[in-house]
Amino acid sequence: MNQHTRLDTTPIPFIDVAAQRRRLGTAVDDAIARVLAHCQFVMGPEVQALEKDLAAFCGARHAISCASGTDALLLVLMARGVGRGDAVFCPAFTFCATAEVVALLGATPVFVDIEEATFNLDVASLKRAIPVAKQKGLTAKAVIPVDLFGLPADHDAVAAVAKAEGLFVLDDAAQGFGATYKGRKLGTLAPATATSFFPAKPLGCFGDGGAVMTDDDSLAEILRSLRVHGQGTDRYDNVRIGTTGRLDTMQAAVLIEKLKIFEDEIAARNEAARRYNEALADVATVPQLPEGYTSVWAQYTIRLQPGRRDQLAAALKAQGIPTAIYYPRPLHKLAAYTGFPLSEGGVPVSEKLADEVISLPMHAYFDAPTQDRIIGAVKRSLAG
């Protein structure tokens, strides 16, 4: 860099929600105004319309919306009767909600390691975890593969182990909804798939929201009951213990409009990831898509030698460029989760990657100069 060149330090957003608002124009505002006019704030007509759209989008028979991604996971485990004495296998490297719902129901999360190349569940580690659970007297009940950072887990490999061991598979697609695995969209790759519409997710609403996708008619019916206090024929006929787990009509209205541009946004995210990969492969370990997979790039996460990321984060921050660490600690290192069992051999890859990962700004609305500014700053810092 020429010493007379002034670096641009204008703040760059990590996710450009404002650019998306501009792209949507008045569509979302109009959709919210329609809800304000009809006043059916809970289970209004937009909720059913969204569920139809979500099911059609991913090719699932049912989409059942709910209050958050955490509720989506929880409701499925409740529907399956998961509870005390049951083991549910979860990756150690994920957001806490994946294991939180298991523990909330009194069941035991058993932590499984991940693959270094994909950040997703390592099936060999899953196989080693099953005897650990059994030795502790637990019933091996379910597995929750996570499609971390937007990349699908190896669903065929997970399904094979699940079939052999009688495990129910709940796909945690909170970060991956919209991605594909061997030509099929997430939402159809497991008996149940949970997703989140938290605003920072690839398909986010303007608050909290989530959904479960399934082809199973009886599971869908139970989920629809559980999200309204276990209702039966009507809301004062409570046939099971449930909760308030509904998606607000207002959020459904927002999501209907956002879903219309989601495929376009996924394409733009992929282009941004391609540009990052091309530019950064020589200075960092960049994410790779296995053959037959697509990602929605919930995060663009690179890996650096341990110790280098703090320096990079500080250099970028000084130039107005935010970064994030997903996740600084694997779950078994968090106070609330230290007591739960690990797969045989531990989870060394999760521990290693937690020290190496750093995520760069990622969204569908980069202009080339903005992304080039980020790329230039990363390269200067890592080359220096």
Question: Cα torsion at 224, 228, 230, 233 (round to 10°)?
Answer: -70
| By CB under 6 A, residue 256 contacts ligand PLP | no
Tokens of 214: 């399934």
Residue 70 vs 193, nearer CB to ligand PLP: 70
Q: How far is the CB of 56 from ligand PLP (least distance, A)?
A: 22
Q: Which one of 65, 68, 118, 323 is in contact with ligand PLP (CB under 6 A)?
A: 68
Give yes or no for residue 149 binding ligand PLP (CB under 6 A).
no
Among 196, 294, 295, 299, binds ligand PLP (CB under 6 A): 196
Q: What are phi and psi of 250, to 5 degrees?
A: -60, -45
Residue 247: how many CB atoms within 10 A of its CB? 29
Sole window of 43-51, 63-71, 304-312, 346-354 interacting with ligand PLP (rule: CB under 6 A): 63-71
Q: Is 248 in the site for ligand PLP (CB under 6 A)?
A: no
Q: Using the 8-state DSSP alphabet, how is residue 40 labeled? A: -
Of 50, 55, 64, 70, the one binding ligand PLP (CB under 6 A) is: 70
What proportions of the chain, in percent to the nearest 5, are helix, strand and coil? 40, 15, 40
Q: Which residue is nearest to ligand PLP (CB)?
A: 69
Contact of 209 with 67, CB cutoff 8 Å: yes
Chain positions 80 to 139 lying near ligand PLP, rule: CB under 6 A, are: 94-95, 97-98
- Paired residues of 91 in beta bridges: 112
Task: Indicate the residue among 44 and 209 with the shorter CB distance to ligand PLP.
Answer: 209
CA 9 vs. chain centroid, Å, equals: 31
Residue nearer to ligand PLP on the CB measure, 205 or 377: 205
DSSP 178: T
> Is residue 15 a contact residue for ligand PLP (CB under 6 A)?
no
Cβ(177)–Cβ(296) below 8 Å: yes
Q: Are 289 and 270 in contact (CB under 8 A)?
A: no
Closest distance to ligand PLP from the beta carbon of 381 (Å): 27
Give the residue with the Cβ less far from ligand PLP, 97 or 364: 97
Q: Which of residues 306-325 bind ligand PLP (CB under 6 A)?
A: none
Contact 128, 106 (CB under 8 A): no
Nearer to ligand PLP, 15 or 377 (CB): 15
Under the binding rule (CB under 6 A), the answer on residue 381 touching ligand PLP is no
Binding to ligand PLP (CB under 6 A) within 154-193 occurs at 172, 174-175
> How many chain residues interact with ligand PLP (CB under 6 A)?
15
Distance of CA 5 to the CA centre of its chain: 40
In degrees, rounded to 5, the angle at the alpha carbon of residue 235 between the alpha carbons of residues 230 and 240 is: 20
- What CA–CA distance (Å, rounded) separates 101 from 71? 8
Query: Closest Cα partner for 377 from 7, 4, 2?
Result: 7
**Smallest distance from ligand PLP to CB 145, Å:** 10
Residues that bind ligand PLP (CB under 6 A): 68-70, 94-95, 97-98, 146, 172, 174-175, 196, 198, 208, 210
